[in-house]
Structure 1
Amino acid sequence: MAQAGGADVERVVGAYLDHLAVERGTARNTLDGYARDLRRYREYLARRGIAAITGIAPADVTGFGVALRTGDDGHRALAPSSAARALVAVRGLHRFAHADGITEHDPARDIHPPSQAKRLPKALPVDEVLRLLAMPGTEGERAIRDSALLELLYSTGARISEVVGLDVDDIDEEERTVLLDGKGGKQRIVPVGRPAIEAVRAYTVRARPSLARNGRGTPALFLNARGGRLSRQSAWQVLKTNAERAGLSAAVSPHTLRHSFATHLIEGGADVRVVQELLGHASVTTTQVYTLVTVNTLREVYATAHPRALG
């Protein structure tokens, strides 16, 4: 058992940081962050009249977690991610003190950092999607191809990798469906809207034959200038270039049209389990993030439109 003087919070924090640096080889940036967080913890405890680590109770650790988010300890309130990092430092400190025999109990053992809010996917408003889809034009082989590519991405909600992996026979123009090869080799049939079918038909009739002459007879639906299968990177560049030409307000990602597809379906009243099947998600939990997007939109409209929203 450590001596009473060794139970002083400041001394234990110093010992813990030395332990991380020497025995764990923790990176300097991480050590600096832990030092800042634990200094704030020491100051919080001092305000409560606690100088010895043996005098810290679970309620003190919980109170510090609240103070991190509210700024009630006289410091700037932290974002959830920063508050979670600070609590990780505090949990590590108490775990170290308990393992080293300085304390008989670990007051932070049952204290868990707040779970991180799910990062909401970015979806474009419908009018911006329509502006993007109108960008490639209808003249020239690449423009016709790019138009079909973008239309199909938005119409099906497919991943870029799934669309560039399509072969000509995977499109059923009569049934207006497409057979997609998803993650884990799982296939799914997804309906295709009429504008996308017409764009694909225009591409296969007017542009693909010319592109195919430069290649070796690949069955791929979307071809590059050399007649080979269009790569995922090239398809992503098509999306990025046309988004810039359209002057879209939000930054686009390879999943932009997929996210927009899902969000617009749910906003239109589609059942989340149907959207799950269309996206090829293994779990409905993954799809439910799109319901959070629409709830946030509703909340914003309510806050600006309802006369008592801020009351």
Structure 2
Amino acid sequence: MTTPHTSSAPPPRPEWLELAEDLRAFRHYLKAERGMSENTVLAYGRDLDRFSNWFAAGNMRDYLKPTLADLADYLAFLRTEQLASSSIARNVVSLRMFYRFLKLEERTTSTTLNLLSSPTLWERVPKVMSQTQIEALLRSPQPGDPFYLRDRALLETLYATGCRASEVVNLGLSDVHLDSAFCKCTGKGNKQRIVPLGKAAITALRSYIGEQRAEIVAASGQCQNVFLSRTGKPLTRMILWKIVKKYAKRIGVAGKVSPHTFRHSFATHLLSGGADLRAVQEMLGHASIATTQIYTHVDAERLKAMHRRFHPRG
């Protein structure tokens, strides 16, 4: 994205730099988490570059709290660009998708965008793996894989905690308390929360930290992050994504699984098993319970099976 100012102009507002970072995260989300094609991501990017440049020109005070007046002004601006009606509609869809992403990431709580025409693109519930698929994926790292102890511990931690990718790669050794069966995660706004660890995750973490991680550190020097690359540096979100895709491909679900899928599956499996919504909200680190409620959908087949079992006419 090019900056909308010349070398003689004043530096961009901090809010524009923040928007630029959110747009980069959104592009990565579309490609990595939603599996959209490069051309589709570029198309949405072009639409949102137009919005970014409009914002940078001082036409909007706070993009995280859009007002009806802001939206009306932006729609008026799109018309002055002499765009076709279909192009304006596509720009609106792009903007709604971006704000939907910001809301899912708890960057904004604004519902103003809901007043615009609602696209069907976001009607789907999050992708969730079945428990059988999860089990297969957790078993997929094998001794023949170069870092299978790390990868197994990584996958187990993702599913055991429901943590975001950034929270997992940023876990420090001091955050993991295996004897007490919990870890301390740092989420949005540097808010910390305690998340329980199950027996399988604890076993996998003990093996990795005591064996493979110790070998990596001995060869490369000290690092306080739990999950390390082969060079001893902390894993990045992109490397984590590649690791997940590698093992997802191995079990035949590559196009459907990303690190965030573990979070969706964690929440859905807990709720379908009878967990309290507020408890799940706390474990996920959601500021609003409305965000957690998206996971209250229950597998239709499970409901049908319960109906057949317990209803007198089932």
Question: What interval of TM-score do these two structures reach, taking the shorter chain for normalisation?
Answer: 0.5 to 0.7
> Match of 1:233?
238
Deviations 1:176-210, CA, capped at 9 Å, x for gaps:
00000011100000000000000000001110011
> Match of 1:24?
80
> Match of 1:13?
none
CA contact (8 A) 2:228 2:234 kept: yes
Deviations 1:271-307, CA, capped at 9 Å, x for gaps:
1111000100000000001113x16555666899999
- The more displaced of 130-139 and 245-254 is 245-254
CA contact (8 A) 1:216 1:228 kept: no
Structure index of larger Rg: 1
Residues matched between the structures, number: 216
Paired with 2:149 and 2:125, the residues of 1 have a C-alpha distance of 32
CA contact (8 A) 2:79 2:88 kept: no
- Give percent identity, aligned residues only: 39
SS at match of 2:194: strand
Aligned AA (2:196)? P
> Match of 1:204?
209
Aligned AA (2:131)? V
> Match of 1:278?
283
CA contact (8 A) 1:141 1:207 kept: no
Residues 1:304 and 1:178: Cα distance change in structure 2 (over 3 Å):
same
Paired with 1:188 and 1:226, the residues of 2 have a C-alpha distance of 30
> Match of 1:128?
133
Deviations 1:140-189, CA, capped at 9 Å, x for gaps:
65111000000000001111110110111111111100000011100000
Q: CA deviation at 1:254?
A: 2.5
Q: CA deviation at 1:211?
A: 1.2
| Residue 290 (str. 1) matches residue 295 (str. 2) | yes
Q: CA deviation at 1:113?
A: 4.6
Aligned AA (2:80)? R
Q: CA deviation at 1:215?
A: 2.8
- The more displaced of 112-121 and 282-291 is 112-121
Deviations 1:226-260, CA, capped at 9 Å, x for gaps:
11111111111111100000112861123011111
Q: CA deviation at 1:22?
A: 10
Aligned AA (2:83)? A
Deviations 1:5-47, CA, capped at 9 Å, x for gaps:
xxxxxxxxxxxxxxx899622423626979xxxxxxxxxxxxx
> Match of 1:178?
183
CA contact (8 A) 1:144 1:202 kept: yes
CA contact (8 A) 2:158 2:259 kept: no
TM-score, normalization: structure 1?
Answer: 0.61
Query: Please, which of 234, 239, 248 is the counterpart of residue 243 of structure 1?
Result: 248
Q: Which runs of 4+ in 1 moved over 2 A?
A: 20-23, 26-34, 111-119, 138-141, 213-216, 295-309
Aligned AA (2:282)? E
- Point out where structure 2 has 5 or more consecutive residues left out of the alignment: 1-75, 94-114
Residues 1:178 and 1:21: Cα distance change in structure 2 (over 3 Å):
closer
- The more displaced of 155-164 and 139-148 is 139-148
Aligned AA (2:152)? S
1:204-223 correspondence runs (5 A): 204-223=209-228
Residues 1:210 and 1:287: Cα distance change in structure 2 (over 3 Å):
same
